[in-house]
Structure 1
Amino acid sequence: MSSDAPVTRRGLLKLGAGVAATAALAAAEPASAAVSRAEGRFELTAPATSLIWKKALYDETVLQSFTIDNAHGHIYTIQVKNGAGSDAAGHLCVTKLSLTGTVLGHMYLMGFGHGVQIGVEPSGASAYLWTETDGISDGATSRGSKLARFKFTDGQTLTTSSSALAKYSLVAGATNTTCAIDPSTNRLVMRYVDGSAFRIAAYELASVTAGAPQKLYDIAQPTGLGTFQGYAAYGNFVYLLTGNSYDLSPPPGNTYLTCLDLRTGEQVQRAHSVAGQSLDFREPEGMAVQIVSGAPRLCLGLASGVAGARKASIFYKSELV
């Protein structure tokens, strides 16, 4: 297990100050106020720490993305379902994990897409997942054309026509639709293709579920970043994960994290990541924000292992600037 950069005294002081400020804010204000005031952004050159290391998922394929249910302490991963033709058909497997990587349940999603990014919305004792759905296949892979919200139910298999789904088309004619949920602001952040270009939009989550979507921001995704592998949002910033596995880009690899300002579209920071550099295969896959005692962590996923026995690892950064 490895980190992205050496730990310095300055970095530790900044991290301590950021965590203390976040914790103090959470203690001093009602939960709703604390959530709505996510401050600062993550320092992308800060060290990365392991959350889970080389854990098996329910199916044996490569991790595609993940999300973290901060209310209940669970991780949800998504991957292409076992079996020939699943990628082209858009068949996916969701695995529910503990925060230490123990498998707690699974679901199958038939015809949904590729699973580039997912989100979770805790609700009471339940968790509702947000994914792409109504996948459109090009013969090799499938990409969603709508968003779906559904309750995680262990052992259930859903199709695109299942009554358990609530579907959303937030941008007319959009393709390659995926989403993430920012737990600090309760915003839904959607990545999509409009025409031929990728864009990223942010909505008030409650307005989407109420059927009257309130768009807050809509920015262009910069070109030339590399192979896209996932994203996450915290406050006014969205973080993009790009790169390839070691078989395409040998160590130290070409995994990069990029921070964009949702308000302006400005690229604020871009940094190379060597988190989990000792993994074999090592393909970057998915992002999420974890909240621990009021302090945020920016998490990134890594797939490893051989075909037919893939493993998932998650690392996080917690220094704010």
Structure 2
Amino acid sequence: MKFVHDSSRKLNGNRLGKGLVTKVVVGALALSLFSMAPLDSNAKQPIPNSKVFDLAAPGKELIRDKRLYNGTVQQSFAFDNVNQHIYIVQLIAGGQQLPGEDSPVSGTNRGKQGDLTLTKLDLDGNILGHMFLKGFGHGVQMGVEVDGDTPYLWTETDSVAEGNDGWGTQLARFTFEDGAILTPDSPQLEKHRLIDGADRTTVSIDPANELLTMRYRKEGVFHFALFDLEQVKQNNYVPLADVLQPPMGTFQGFTSYGGYLYTLEGNAYGSSGSVEPYGNTYITSVDWNTGKVVDRALFTGGDSLTFREPEGLAIRIPNIKHPQKAQLGVGFASNFTPDRWGNVYYLDQLVPEPSLKRK
């Protein structure tokens, strides 16, 4: 078992010439629940160095109680850091009849089919547009990649029903088009199957390092795999790292920044031990280089929301000239059916990993 590490790579948003990178190969680590899965020896690019978010720092508010195009629960979100937009995905509300449909479709069937609504907002939470993504999945997590000034959205697609929900089986890349309705067969989609035999595929983008993280299930076990974004777009699917999902409660989202993976778990008040005002919303950080948990802390932001269900993580870079000054966005659904609202809070304190050792 090997992984590649390079102390020279910096968080500058630019890709280093691969011929200039000095690699240090680190020997096998003792296997544990959080150990790295074996990597393909063809992996060329190192995992970048970075500081880690202090998960116990106070959460700050970005947007609160904002209406989305549909009144269903926010599932996840992502930032366009160049154009200063937020994209939020949710299940299509029941009772709507879209063009090409014979009759209104219930919320239950929308969930089984994996039908999603995508809302585009500005940083004040004002709606700028929407799309419908039919047959894509559950919307557990999404990402945004910006090429020049053009944003490309990354989501799961090719939904397969399991129980009352549809779940994606591969990834899709596409541009936003206000009012458009896409299906897995739409020609606008660029699709990627990164790992054969995987399902429950969802995606997040690290905009500072041009990396893609995919959560997936294989043989009943959930993993996270880290890829070079440019290599994925060239259909070269060699992971830089692959780690097992740590034990946790109800999974609600993930993202990655530099050398660390972040996961979100928790429930709305009144379920699974979630009690006002802070509930049971926990964020966990995992070191990509070792696969081990670095930190886990209760997130207390948004404690005055009337309904507070954690929904998604995403990286925001307030100033793209300074990608080392990042924010870890934390999503919540609020208000009550049939008019759920969107919320984003964030952490912005980055520290060296040893600083996280708490009493």
TM-score band by shorter chain is: 0.7 to 0.9
Residue from 260, 284, 290 that aligns with 1:237: 260
**Deviates most, 47-56 or 207-216:** 207-216
Residue from 329, 332, 337 that aligns with 1:302: 332
Q: CA–CA distance in 2 between the matches of 1:181 and 1:30? A: 12
TM-score (structure 1 length as normaliser): 0.88
Residue from 66, 86, 97 that aligns with 1:75: 86
Could you tell me whether the CA contact under 8 Å between 1:87 and 1:142 is conserved in 2?
yes
What are the equivalent positions in structure 2 for 1:82-161 lying under 5 Å apart? 82-83=93-94, 84=106, 85-161=109-185
Which secondary structure does the structure 2 equivalent of 1:285 belong to? strand
Q: Which residue of 1 aligns with 2:275?
A: 250
Q: C-alpha deviations, 1:248-294, integer Å up to 9, x for none? A: 12213110000001111100000011110111120000010101232
Could you tell me whether the CA contact under 8 Å between 1:134 and 1:144 is conserved in 2?
yes
Q: Which residue of 2 aligns with 1:181?
A: 205
Residue from 56, 66, 80 that aligns with 1:55: 66
1:136 to partner: Cα distance: 0.8
Q: CA–CA distance in 2 between the matches of 1:56 and 1:258? A: 29
TM-score (structure 2 length as normaliser): 0.79
Could you tell me whether the CA contact under 8 Å between 1:257 and 1:272 is conserved in 2?
yes
Q: Which residue of 1 aligns with 2:75?
A: 64
Q: CA–CA distance in 1 between the matches of 2:179 and 2:151? A: 15
Which secondary structure does the structure 1 equivalent of 2:112 belong to? helix
Could you tell me whether the CA contact under 8 Å between 1:51 and 1:314 is conserved in 2?
yes
Residue segments in structure 2 that go unaligned for 5+ positions in a row: 1-9, 17-46, 95-105, 352-359
Aligned amino acid, residue 250 of structure 1:
V
Please, what is the CA RMSD of the aligned residues?
1.5
Q: Which residue of 2 aligns with 1:45?
A: 56
Instruction: State the aligned residue count.
Output: 292
What are the equivalent positions in structure 2 for 1:163-182 lying under 5 Å apart? 163-182=187-206
Aligned amino acid, residue 40 of structure 1:
K
Residue segments in structure 1 that go unaligned for 5+ positions in a row: 1-24
Could you tell me whether the CA contact under 8 Å between 1:38 and 1:185 is conserved in 2?
no
Q: Which residue of 2 aligns with 1:273?
A: 299
Q: C-alpha deviations, 1:205-234, integer Å up to 9, x for none? A: 0001011123100011112x1000001110
Q: CA–CA distance in 2 between the matches of 1:282 and 1:116? A: 17
1:30 to partner: Cα distance: 8.3
Q: Which residue of 2 aligns with 1:313?
A: 343
1:125 to partner: Cα distance: 3.2
1:32 to partner: Cα distance: 5.1
Indicate yes or no: 2:289 matched with 1:227: no
Q: C-alpha deviations, 1:133-191, integer Å up to 9, x for none? A: 01111241111011111111111100111111111111111010001000111000000
Aligned amino acid, residue 60 of structure 1:
G
**Deviates most, 241-250 or 197-206:** 241-250
Aligned amino acid, residue 73 of structure 2:
V
Could you tell me whether the CA contact under 8 Å between 1:126 and 1:152 is conserved in 2?
no
Could you tell me whether the CA contact under 8 Å between 2:13 and 2:209 is conserved in 1?
no
Indicate yes or no: 2:216 matched with 1:192: yes
Aligned amino acid, residue 245 of structure 2:
Q
Could you tell me whether the CA contact under 8 Å between 1:93 and 1:107 is conserved in 2?
yes
Percent identity between the two aligned chains = 44
Q: CA–CA distance in 2 between the matches of 1:259 and 1:30? A: 21
Aligned amino acid, residue 231 of structure 1:
F
Q: CA–CA distance in 2 between the matches of 1:279 and 1:151? A: 33
Indicate yes or no: 2:303 matched with 1:292: no
